[in-house]
Amino acid sequence: MAKLQEDLVSIRQQLKLSADDIHDKTRLSTLIISQIEDGSIFKSKQNKTYIRSFVRTYARALGISDDDMIEALDQMDVSNYQGFLLKRYATGQTPTAAEQKKEAYPKTGATTASSSPKTPAAKPPQPQKADQGSKPDTTQAPSSGADKTSTNTSGTKAQSQPQPQSQSQSKSQSQSQSQSQSQSASQGTKAAAASASSKSKETASGRTKASTVKAGRPARVNKTGSYRGPDASEVNWSDVSRGASKKSPVPVSAILIVALVLIALGAFGYWYLNSEDGFSGLFSDSIPPTEQQTTVPDRTPELLLSDTLDAPVAPDPGLTSAPAQTLPDTLAVVIYAATGNLEPFRVSADTFENRRPYWVEIGRGMRVQFIDEIVLTGNFNRMIVMYEDRVISTFAEVTNQGERIIRRSQFEDDPTLESFTEPRLPEGINPPTEIIDRPLF
């Protein structure tokens, strides 16, 4: 079974075209052209529509009509291609424009444009007179007219010679015959020139139409007289993506507007961030501050008199006391790994939900916060609990499981902290080198 790609290559070679010529005509890439010629494009995973479009564009450069190419591709799809393209386009079975014109218009005696100008046109048949029945047919080329004339004259001489009047009559007839032959030759030459000019006009119009279609203009008038666009077969599919890839230019006015808006936003943000009062500074100058008027009650003369007469009263020493220390809402203690690593110790407090383990290296401390109560569990031989550089020596409660509980009530009952804390660390124990906050899980 014939292969479509081999027939296309054979037709290209017979047309004396190279792969570069196909590339220049169709703008197909050399890779696609090579894939078409070796047949690998039919086995690729590309879209079938693109493959058929590439092959049709390639065939159009070889002069193959779209109808024939579509038929060949359809046969190729069902593995029934018999190689009719090579027979039709390489052996000359496709009728040319001149042959189609001959079939549409039968011969009228004028030669076609393909005939050589040196070869005269065929002579139309001349009506024969009764006394010239012995003369041969003169419907041959004008180039042999002189020989025919000599043959006719020799034929007349070979016959019985009539009177001198008949000889003069035969001479006049030969002269009229030569004149008619020259007129027919000139008419044939004019007809050949007219047909050649009409063909050149048809070729030029065809080129103009092709260039119009390539330029993408709406073209042509069909047989009914209505306008129609270019056929799908005349569209160069390799140039379809060029129009889509062109980007419309952005107007300069839009760019300037966007730039001005960005500059205004940047200036406003800079002013707002650097101003002390922000938006309140806009209204601080316009609204005058309200003056607070305080009224002092007038003291009566009786009170003034009592101030001068009454003696000062000494305060009762039993009623005076030190001002109560105001505790913060959240208290914080430091778990200090004084003599060894705490691996681990556990803490439960009312600032978080579950009891969690923590690890502290020797020489470091961890700050843990609570509101009302905190419960500590661990190796207290290595641990020291501190509050504001004081060592907590007495806990609010020690459970059977060895848990130490610190409550807020201890700090509220003894603001001086002297009843349950020591002012300094034990001898030989240095302060913690680093205190970190409790990690949040």
- Domain ranges, ordered by start, for the chain: 4-90, 331-437
Give the per-residue pLDDT at 328: 86
Rounded mean pLDDT, 170-174: 52
pLDDT surpasses 60 at 385? yes
Nearest by Cα to 438 from 380, 394, 374: 374
Best mean pLDDT range from 102-106, 253-257, 416-420: 253-257
Give the per-residue pLDDT at 182: 53
pLDDT surpasses 50 at 106? no
pLDDT cut 90: percent of the chain above it: 20
Residue 424 contacts residue 338 (beta carbons within 8 Å): no
| Euclidean distance between CA atoms 224 and 84, whole angstroms | 34
Report which of residues 317 and 28 the model is more confident about: 28
| Euclidean distance between CA atoms 47 and 37, whole angstroms | 18
Nearest by Cα to 103 from 95, 92, 94: 95
What is the pLDDT confidence band of residue 196, given thresholds at 50, 70 and 90? low
| Euclidean distance between CA atoms 31 and 122, whole angstroms | 54
Architecture of domain 4-90: Orthogonal Bundle (1.10)
> Taking the complete model, does pTM exceed 0.85, yes or no?
no
pLDDT surpasses 80 at 151? no
Q: CA angle, corner 12, sides to 238 and 83, nearest 5?
A: 100
pLDDT surpasses 60 at 207? no
Report which of residues 123 and 190 the model is more confident about: 190
Q: CA angle, corner 434, sides to 428 and 440, nearest 5?
A: 130
Give residue-wise pLDDT tens across range 286-320. 455 454 555 544 554 444 444 544 444 444 544 44
Give residue-wise pLDDT tens across range 363-382. 999 999 999 999 998 888 88
Strands 383-387 and 397-398: unpaired
Give the per-residue pLDDT at 365: 92
Give the per-residue pLDDT at 259: 95
What is the pLDDT confidence band of residue 429, given thresholds at 50, 70 and 90? confident
Q: Which of 25-34, 206-215, 318-327 has the lowest mean pLDDT?
A: 206-215
Say which residues have a Cβ less than 8 Å from residue 402's Cβ, sequence separation at least 6. Answer: 377, 380
Mean pLDDT rounded to a whole number for the chain: 69
Instruction: Determine if residue 278 is left, alpha or beta; phi over 0 gives left, psi from -120 to 50 gives alpha, anything else beta.
Output: left
What is the pLDDT confidence band of residue 114, given thresholds at 50, 70 and 90? very low
Give residue-wise pLDDT tens across range 87-102. 888 755 444 444 444 4
- With b for 16 or more beta-carbon neighbours within 10 A and e for fewer, the 347-357 pattern comes to bbbebeeeeee
Give the per-residue pLDDT at 125: 46
What is the pLDDT confidence band of residue 74, given thresholds at 50, 70 and 90? very high
Give the per-residue pLDDT at 51: 93
Report which of residues 440 and 200 the model is more confident about: 440
Give the per-residue pLDDT at 242: 59
Give the per-residue pLDDT at 379: 83
Query: How many secondary structure helices (H) and strands (E) does the chain include?
Result: 14, 11
Give residue-wise pLDDT tens across range 244-290. 555 667 789 999 999 999 999 999 999 888 765 555 555 444 455 45
